[in-house]
Structure 1
Amino acid sequence: MTVRPTHTLFPYAPVPALPSEGVIGVIAPAGPASLDTDKAVQWMRARGYSLRVFPGVYENDGYLAGSDEVRLNDLHGAFADTDVAAIICLRGGYGTPRLLDRIDFDLLRANAKPFIGYSDITALHLAIARYAGFVTFHGPLLNADLLGGKQKPTESSFFNMLRGQVKAGSVLTHPVAYPLSTIEPGIAHGRLLGGNLSMIASTMGTPYEIDAEGVILFIEDINEPLYRIDRLLTHLRLAGTLGKLRGVLVGDVAGVDAAALARLLKQTFEPLRIPVLAGWRSGHCDPNLTLPMGALVKLDAGNKVLVLEQDVVVKR
């Protein structure tokens, strides 16, 4: 069994835990979607929260939810609003990369709080990790996941993580109904970082590319045939990114045959001699489990275990 070196990485800052009551802000930093506000408010109220909907949620600018200025103002406004305890994104789609070079990361760092989303939101996870240095959450979107009737583990994973019920030393739970697959055995310690594979690759060569040194890379994707997944992974290999990793956690890769994907993952990562665990139910899937981006974790691919090695939220 390969045991990767013990990490010497400093932990990214935890964020304030989601209180049992409070305000959850919703923003649309990427694509547009129609929000049933009454349904959303009732859903949150039933769980003890009120909802603050920022203006861009109701806008539509083609494939974008409002202009860049509107979406950027909502992002800044949600972080600056001291009444907002957490921020959840409406949907993915496309749009967040257009904002990256205009974000006030000092403002975000000074008002750090749980920030949740996936898919195109990956660009924000990567940028916040690099320039603000606090933990964010690869987790459900408001429309597609929480209001979309996904299985209960989506909701329980979300609230358990944000409320601080998952602490340092906790084994992250995974539904037994969805078996995990060891691609390469071994144990690695590192910082969990990543998200949508297409978005990770598209930011390469920019100031917002993933800082892969000492990272356990999490990847997921949708609507990409196997050869495109191959191309994206090859891009990261040729860029030198994969050679910096300590391990890999593969989430849902929707639409790709599992056996064919396993072969590609074996071909890609076996020469690197790092542990690789596949089948984690996070991404464009049901259930969609919440993962803490930037957090220190231990990946034991042989025993199919992911352990949180730092607190990711702190009680106020």
Structure 2
Amino acid sequence: MNSRLTAPVTYKVHSAVPALPAGGVIGLIAPAGPAELDLERATQWVNAHGYSLRVFDGVWEKDGYLAGSDAVRLRDLHAAFTDDSIDAIFCLRGGYGCPRLLDGIDFELLRRHPKPFVGYSDITALHLAITRYAGFVTFHGAMLNADLLGGKQEPTQSSLLRMLTGEQGAVLEHPSAYPLSTLAPGSARGRLLGGNLSMICAAMGTAFELDSDDIILFIEDVNEPLYRVDRLLTQLRLAGKLERVRGVLVGDVAGVDAVALERLIRQELGPLGVPVLSGWRSGHCDPNLTLPMGALVRLDADQQQVVLEQVVVDTANIKSSSP
């Protein structure tokens, strides 16, 4: 393991990151799988929202099922954080590859250069690691290819941009067209952590596993049949990762029958005695809403709300985009 983690510090409080300023620069990296980037469309999307785009070199590489070698992808991750001209970091896509980077990340370097970092799916591995060892909020949200250039419906884009610019209010909006289900009643306060369920379980037994004490656990997944979702939840339970959670927010589990999933969730999570809210549109779904990982939130399953209880982006000292 990287010597930087021989005496790890686990952060229990996660600080806000600088807000994305008007006219700011979005850095695009590919820390996981490869994808063909339509640079013209990407630039048009970014420019249309008032920003400029910087594409890091690894986006153009391909190493089998990886977007470049581990060294290239790690280099771009570090460079995107340390480059002071970059105001936010977007990921090209998920797939696979992020876990291979974890023991090479310089978390102290990231801690000195906090900025919005956005992605989901395989990017969950980076969310878990950064929130744990760098101590700032990250964002489980839309990626460039599948979401922002993929034609996903609103409020996918507005949810992301409101969150990064500081325009998001305390109550996170959820589209009424997609009803939520209260699977266990109550209200609880805790740090929002989690992401892709398969990736959460893959990190178990490593220095980067989920620190589940006093959290609101968020889970989502895709291409996992019901019995495998059952197996993953059982793994979390047997590992003791559910014993001290304060609440559970269930996102989209794409490809699984909703009624059967709710029955499984009630069986597995009901005995915890904590609020459980299901059906949140975040993850491999359309729309895909942005969630702040590491942020202190209140989960109100009775009112079917997620409420921010801390500032997640700092607009007080926002960087000017002018020369």
TM-score by length of 1: 0.96
Q: For 1:64-112, what per-residue CA distance to the aligned partner results, in whole angstroms no more than 9, with x for missing partners?
A: 0000000000000000110000000000000000000000001111000
Secondary structure at the counterpart of residue 299 of structure 1: strand
Q: Give the alignment of 1:29-178 within 5 angstroms.
A: 29-167=31-169, 170-178=170-178
The aligned counterpart of 1:284 is 284
Structure 2: tracts of 5 or more residues without a match: 1-10, 319-323
Structure 1: tracts of 5 or more residues without a match: 1-8
Tell me how far 1:205 sits from its aligned partner: 0.4
Q: Give the alignment of 1:174-213 within 5 angstroms.
A: 174-213=174-213
Deviates more, 1:173-182 or 1:9-18: 9-18
The aligned counterpart of 1:6 is none
Within 2, Cα distance between the matches of 1:146 and 1:161? 15
The aligned counterpart of 1:223 is 223
Tell me how far 1:203 sits from its aligned partner: 0.2
Within 2, Cα distance between the matches of 1:298 and 1:162? 20
Secondary structure at the counterpart of residue 150 of structure 2: coil
Within 2, Cα distance between the matches of 1:152 and 1:44? 16
Whether the 8 Å CA contact 1:91–1:144 is kept in 2: the answer is yes
Q: Does 1:235 align with 2:230?
A: no
Query: What stretches of structure 1 move > 2 A for 4+ residues in a row?
Result: none
Whether the 8 Å CA contact 1:11–1:310 is kept in 2: the answer is no
Secondary structure at the counterpart of residue 183 of structure 1: strand
The aligned counterpart of 1:257 is 257
Within 2, Cα distance between the matches of 1:65 and 1:203? 21
Tell me how far 1:10 sits from its aligned partner: 5.5
Q: For 1:117-171, what per-residue CA distance to the aligned partner results, in whole angstroms no more than 9, with x for missing partners?
A: 000000000000110000000000100000111112000000000000124xx11
TM-score by length of 2: 0.94
Whether the 8 Å CA contact 1:96–1:120 is kept in 2: the answer is yes
Tell me how far 1:279 sits from its aligned partner: 0.2
Within 1, Cα distance between the matches of 2:167 and 2:25? 19
Tell me how far 1:11 sits from its aligned partner: 3.4
Within 2, Cα distance between the matches of 1:165 and 1:23? 18
The aligned counterpart of 2:214 is 214
Tell me how far 1:255 sits from its aligned partner: 0.3
